[in-house]
A = this chain, B = another copy of it.
Amino acid sequence: MTVRATAHLTDDERLDWLRLIRSQNVGPRTFHALIHHYGQARDALAALPQLARRGGASAPGRICTRAEAEREMAAASAAGVTFVSLREPDYPLRLAMIDDAPPLIAVRGELATLAQPTVAIVGARNASAAGIKFAERLARELGEAGLVVASGLARGIDAAAHRGSLTTGTVAAIAGGHNSIYPPEHTALADAIAENGVVLSEMPLDHEPRARDFPRRNRLISGLAAGVVVIEAAQRSGSLITARMALEQGREVFAVPGSPLDPRCEGSNNLLKQGAAPVTEAADVTAALRPIFERPLQLSAQEPDRPITPSEPKGPSEPSDDERARLVTLLGPTPVGIDDLIRLSGLSPAIVRTVLLELELAGKLGRHGGGLVSLV
């Protein structure tokens, strides 16, 4: 999570942000680490080649050019898509609180929707007729109760949830880009959603979603919402990934009970066994979420460092070869805490974070939730 301001980016800054997040080996967590170190995206962009070299990259990671970013901006604008940065007031507050919040979201529709109290509804693509009927009814009732419904535009439950809340406001977080709606037959549904709601993506406009993009997208669905309702989810289904992310993000998890004889209910029933709140009507959800919506949203107090200030030297201190080697020795394929790395290496937090950035930009480091990192 990056400290949030409520100022708008200049066009140049927005372009730099887009270039940085579109550059190779820069995911949301790396982006936040770079901004933390360098203050400005432009300075981070300038430092990328050197950081990657120091991290041992055989070839420097590809950096998104200014021309490419300008083309994406223009294409987005032509498609009615707006970029909103984490620093800007239109960015959804709850989503900004997750530690891998996308620095920029590409949104289409009624942006005011993103400021409303939101609940997510997700479930099986191959849902039963009863599941689809219930999802649509629940979404409609939650909409009538003043909530925006977030989902993933998938077949089955997701589409039913969007349909039920089309007039009251719904948000579809998609795994591909805005010009590559998946499944293709939901293109018209996406258009309808954008009438009173929002279609949201963190991917380049023409990005065709691959399998791994869907779990990544699921964190946005739960991140947008104060709670996630799971309707019909098989074991090892994407909906359970969303539920797990919701738990990691501190969101409420609800599950709709279903017959133990229906494999499509196995995952959702297991959520009940694990303590998810049972839902059979909208009031079950609204009663549980009301106190949460009434609490003022506070950004996490766990911000590990002070934000950089203009009086401080910009840019990280440069680690020595010895320091770099000491840290690499401590790393392996098993995720370990950055705190542990600092303690065990005896290095300063700034040096440790710089080496990690270098490794990451060299494509050698993976970042996980909860401040964990591993070699990849």
Chain A residues engaging chain B, CB cutoff 8 angstroms:
130, 133-134, 256-261, 265-266, 269-270, 272-273, 277-281, 284
Contacts and interface: CB of A to CB of B under 8 A. Distances in A.
Contact of A257 (B134, B269, B277, B284): B269
A105 to B, nearest CB: 33
Contacts of A284: 273
Contacts of A270: 280
Nearest to A266: B280
A45 B133 CA distance: 63
Nearest to A138: B260
A256 B258 CA distance: 9
Nearest to A265: B257
A130 B279 CA distance: 21
Given A273-B284, A278-B272, A284-B273, A260 B266 contact: no
Nearest to A261: B130
A134 B261 CA distance: 7
A281 B260 contact: yes
A260 B279 CA distance: 8
B272 A257 contact: yes
Nearest to A232: B259
Contacts of A134: 259-261
11 contacts: A133-B261, A134-B259, A257-B257, A257-B260, A257-B269, A257-B272, A258-B259, A260-B279, A266-B280, A272-B272, A273-B277
B257 A278 contact: yes
A130 B265 CA distance: 14
B261 A258 contact: no
A266 B278 CA distance: 12
Contacts of A258: 257-259
A179 to B, nearest CB: 38
Nearest to A131: B259
Contact of A269 (B133, B265, B273, B280): B280
A280 B273 CA distance: 9
Most buried by B among A130, A134, A260: A260
A284 B260 CA distance: 12
A278 B271 CA distance: 10
Most buried by B among A258, A269, A278: A278
Given A130-B261, A257-B265, 13 more contacts: A134-B259, A134-B261, A257-B258, A257-B259, A257-B260, A258-B259, A260-B279, A260-B281, A266-B280, A272-B278, A273-B278, A273-B284, A278-B278
Nearest to A273: B278
Nearest to A277: B273
